[in-house]
Amino acid sequence: MEVTYLAAINQALHEEMRRDENVFVMGEDVAELGGAFKVTEGLLEAFGEDRVIDTPISEALIVGAGVGAAVLGMRPVVEMQFSDFISCAFDQIVNSAATLRYRHGGRAACPLVIRAPSGAGIHGALFHSQNPEAWFTRVPGLKVVAPATAYDAKGLLKAAIRDNNPVVYFEHKRLYRSVREDLPEGEFVVPIGVAELRQEGRDLSVITYGGTVHQVLDAARILDKEDKVSVEVLDLRTLLPLDREAILATARKTGKVLVVHEDRLTGGIGGEIAALIAEHAFDALDAPVRRLAALDTHTAFSPPLEEYILPNTNKIVEALRSLAAY
């Protein structure tokens, strides 16, 4: 039976809470309501109010309490109802959770997962559309993941819950019900820090993650059919730590690289990827590394304006054709 991206996350939470009684869920409306998007539906009935906890509307409180519980041996999975408001807990994540192991000389762990529904394309406007992953990908002590498939959504969440370090888990809202696949029966975990080659190609490479992976794959199919151009697609899956070997391997293979992400262009992780390739694979390049991302502006509520701001399949096709002709 096909499972949606949303249901895959829900499955992972159920399975990990059954496997380990130290795992618990905490956040705004996660219990009785089952979450704003119904991701935590059924958890309260299965595990009770001691392990599925509704909180006040305070992200700083949610993450701060999660850090305290993690230090004491629990494995909290805390939810930011929208990733936009993760900024309210920035101090707790960056200065408390991320530094804890270092401050204690490795003698303490902080097994905390911060679920952060992110992304645009749902007409959520300013405060319900952001992709804030780049704020965290430069912070030692954190891990940052961004799954694009139902399989990875489940497998990466299970890996994050079992990890002894704080993990920021970005789940794209647009994918919740639009992406689905058959999942294998039984136990599986997707390792953090390992990219996945979604499609092999010989002419161009696209490096992407999260909400733009499926747009890139659609664009690659168009290029193959209409232009007879073979596009390789690398899904990073993990943004911290980056799979440097996979990035450099695809750059060296094709010599032409486009980096695509939904986060804004300036300061986005695409710049770091481009610099990595320029520094370590420059001799293999046949063109400058190019980036395609959201415009450097706030996300509009108006659907036509939102579409204008965001990357999409047509824009990716145009960028790939330009790169192929270089």
> pLDDT of 102-152, one tens digit each?
999 999 999 999 999 999 999 999 999 999 999 999 999 999 999 999 999
* Same domain as 248, residue 172: no
Query: What range defines the domain where residue 57 resides?
Result: 2-182
Residue ending a domain, among 152, 182, 212, is 182
What's the chain's average pLDDT?
A: 97
Residue 155's contacts (CB-CB under 8 Å, 6 or more residues apart) are 12, 147, 188, 189, 190
Q: Report d(CA 222, CA 93) in Å as an integer.
A: 41
Q: Report d(CA 162, CA 164) in Å as an integer.
A: 7
Q: Is residue 187 assigned to a domain?
A: no
Domains identified in the chain, total number = 2
Q: Quick one: pLDDT at residue 112?
A: 98
Q: Report d(CA 116, CA 113) in Å as an integer.
A: 9
DSSP assigned state of 127:
G
pTM of the model: 0.97
214: left (phi > 0), else alpha (psi -120 to 50), else beta? alpha
* Same domain as 104, residue 214: no
Instruction: Check 128, 172, 214, 261 and give the catalytic one.
Output: 128
| CATH number assigned to the domain comprising residue 248 | 3.40.50.920
Q: Residue 286 half-sphere exposure, CB side, CA atoms within 13 Å?
A: 14
Q: Is residue 320 assigned to a domain?
A: yes
* Same domain as 239, residue 99: no
Which of 15, 18, 16, 39 has its CA nearest to residue 29? 39
The answer to whether residue 128 is catalytic is yes
Which of 243, 69, 215 has its CA nearest to residue 144? 243
187: left (phi > 0), else alpha (psi -120 to 50), else beta? beta
Q: Quick one: pLDDT at residue 169?
A: 98
> pLDDT of 183-220, one tens digit each?
999 899 999 999 999 999 999 999 999 999 999 999 99
* Same domain as 222, residue 286: yes
Residue ending a domain, among 157, 182, 207, is 182
Q: CA separation (Å) from 168 to 23, 42, 74, 155, 253?
A: 16, 23, 17, 14, 31
> Which ranges in the chain belong to alpha helices (H)?
5-19, 43-47, 59-71, 90-91, 100-103, 150-162, 213-222, 244-254, 269-280, 303-309, 313-324
DSSP assigned state of 122:
S
Q: Quick one: pLDDT at residue 237?
A: 98
Q: Quick one: pLDDT at residue 1?
A: 75
* Same domain as 214, residue 311: yes
On the 0-12 / 13-18 / 19+ scale of CB atoms within 10 A, 228 is exposed
Q: Report d(CA 273, CA 291) in Å as an integer.
A: 10
Max distance between CA atoms of the chain, in angstroms, equals 60
Give the chain's residues under pLDDT 70: none
Q: Is residue 190 assigned to a domain?
A: no
Q: Mapping DSSP to helix (H, G, I), strand (E, B) and coil, where does residue 197 land?
A: strand
